Amino acid sequence: MLRVVSWNINGIRRRLQSLGCQVPSNCSTDLRHILEELDADIVCFQETKVTRDALTEPLAVVEGYNSYFSFSRSQRGYSGVATFCKDSATPVAAEEGLSGLFANLNGNVGCYGNMTEFTQEQLRALDSEGRAVLTQHKIHTWEGKEKPLTLINVYCPHADPGKPERLTFKMHFYRLLQIRAEALLAAGCHVIILGDLNTAHRPIDHCDAGSLECFEEDPGRKWLDGLLSDLECQTGSHIGPFMDSYRYFYPKQEGAFTCWSVITGARHFNYGARLDYVLGDRTLIIDTFQAAFLLPEVKGSDHCPVGAVLNMSCVPAKQCPALCTRFLPEFSGTQLKILGFLVPHKQEPMWGQQVPSHQIQVQKQQKSQDHRYSSRPQKRRGGSRRCQKNLMSYFQPSVSLPKTSVVELPRLPLVGTFITPKTPEEDVIATTVDDQVSVSEVEDKKVVQTLFWKSVLSGPSPAPLCRGHKEPCVMRIVKKPGPNMGRHFYICARPQGPPDDPSSSCNFFLWRRPS
């Protein structure tokens, strides 16, 4: 039996930190614990959010597994996928990306199909976000036949409604994925596409499909309609090259969601969507798939793992492909270190070995030069002919300038002599007024300080009550770029759920007034 699992982990380092991995040397043990808990021969992670320079050896090299990463080249802490294979399921080939532009000279999967509809710039952009890793395995089917099996681990783009160019990017990625998968099928290879496809296919796969405008007309859903076969197999129904493994076993299962909103706490009421899939070619699913499953009890991400069990055995390769992370220069011990360039390398002549005459002559010249430099007389501290000038000498008046006669100007009387002297009564009144002004200034200052510390120590103003439950709301902040970015607002504190459930959120919303 071969067990495969896919999980959008939403940051592999953050997941390890939540398990208490603070020391990098312990991360390998914690990651191995996660892999063993998933209990799969092949584990595919999406949204690892690890770039090449941030990849550490405990994440890359795990005992008993060989791993294959794809990194985002356009943005740090973004996207990224990784496939971990047990040593008993070591692939015969591995490749990063769908277009073949990042393929190694040896150890790549091949079979790219006709990609002439894309330019080289488009292909490079589609593969530069680290969204696909391919591993090819040699398998024995239940009939005893030996065939290649290619797993395509994908993290498909999300289409932001406010960015129409991202929808175009997403559909281009879908098209490129289909071209590559169909090319592998045409070459006689079994194919499994697994990962986060970022589209809920049918209304049964979404918690609130009825409220979404033109649900069936979504371009991503139309693409899935063309890729997948109709499970009902009615006369005239579409027969695509792939099948949805979970719907093959559970065609009417409701509430089978794999992704929930963390902000609204929708996982508490299972109010989400099914975005993660294990797709296989028709022959493979009908003949070898034994089960498909979801693991909603596994926490740590806004997605849950999905997987399948196949009735086949994997023949491990004798050596890992070149894409394996243990072959990276920084982990394989072949990367040159900076100390190798800074430490002088001295070679002493062997005992009894004759030294060439020209080397002896060079050494004598160096010794004579050293003697000449060392015998040079040092400068005397005192008695030098040319004394260094002091900095203050530049600010003293020059002696060579002629002395000018000093012109005495008539002295003016002081200003106080024109002021009429005050009487004793006026002095008393002025002193009383000054004292009253100083006292009032001190009192005003104390009042201002008191009000300030009261505002600081009293904390923020109490949150308003939601209209549905009359409970204090929670405050959120807008992080999406736009005119409201950075603004605070209040929403109902209860988790999001079905609208007819009174215990779920009442959808209360209120902007916070600026202080």
Question: Integer distance in angstroms from the first to the last C-alpha of the chain?
Answer: 63
225 labelled ligand-binding = no
Determine whether 196 is an active site residue. Answer: yes
Q: Which helix H or strand E contains 10, and what residues bound it?
A: none
In angstroms, what is the C-alpha Rg of the chain? 38
CA–CA gap between residue 96 and residue 308 (Å, rounded): 23
196 labelled ligand-binding = yes
Determine whether 53 is an active site residue. Answer: no
Which residue in 343, 234, 285 sits closest to 4, CA to CA? Answer: 285
Polymer length in residues for the chain: 515
Angle at which helix 120-127 crosses helix 164-186, to 10 degrees, equals 90
8 Å CB contact between 279 and 192? yes
DSSP letters spanning 76-127: TT---EEEEEEGGG--SEEEESSSSTT--SSS--------TTS-HHHHHHHH
Residue type, 331: F
CA–CA gap between residue 423 and residue 125 (Å, rounded): 90
CA–CA gap between residue 491 and residue 489 (Å, rounded): 7
Q: Which two tokens stand for residue 307?
A: 């997987």
Residue type, 368: S
Q: Of the residues 30, 41, 127, 196, which is catalytic?
A: 196
Determine whether 444 is an active site residue. Answer: no
CA–CA gap between residue 222 and residue 37 (Å, rounded): 36
Q: Of the residues 201, 271, 303, 490, which is catalytic?
A: 303
CA–CA gap between residue 491 and residue 464 (Å, rounded): 9
Beta strands in 320-451 (DSSP E): none
108 labelled ligand-binding = no
Buried b / exposed e over 237-275, threshold 16 CB at 10 Å, is: eeebbbbbbbbbeeeeeeebbbbbeeebbbbebebbbbb
DSSP 8-state class, residue 171: H
Q: Of the residues 112, 155, 246, 271, which is catalytic?
A: 155
CA–CA gap between residue 251 and residue 248 (Å, rounded): 6
Taking the CA atoms of 481, 486, 488 and 494 in sequence, report the sign of the dihedral they define: positive
Q: Which two tokens stand for residue 453?
A: 């510390």
DSSP 8-state class, residue 233: -
Q: Which two tokens stand for residue 353?
A: 């070995």
CA–CA gap between residue 198 and residue 297 (Å, rounded): 21
213 labelled ligand-binding = no
- Cβ neighbors of 485 (< 8 A, separation 6 or more) are 478, 479
The catalytic residue positions are 155, 196, 303
- Can you say which residues are annotated as belonging to the binding site for Mg(2+)? 8, 47, 196, 198, 302-303
- Can you say which residues are annotated as belonging to the binding site? 8, 47, 196, 198, 302-303
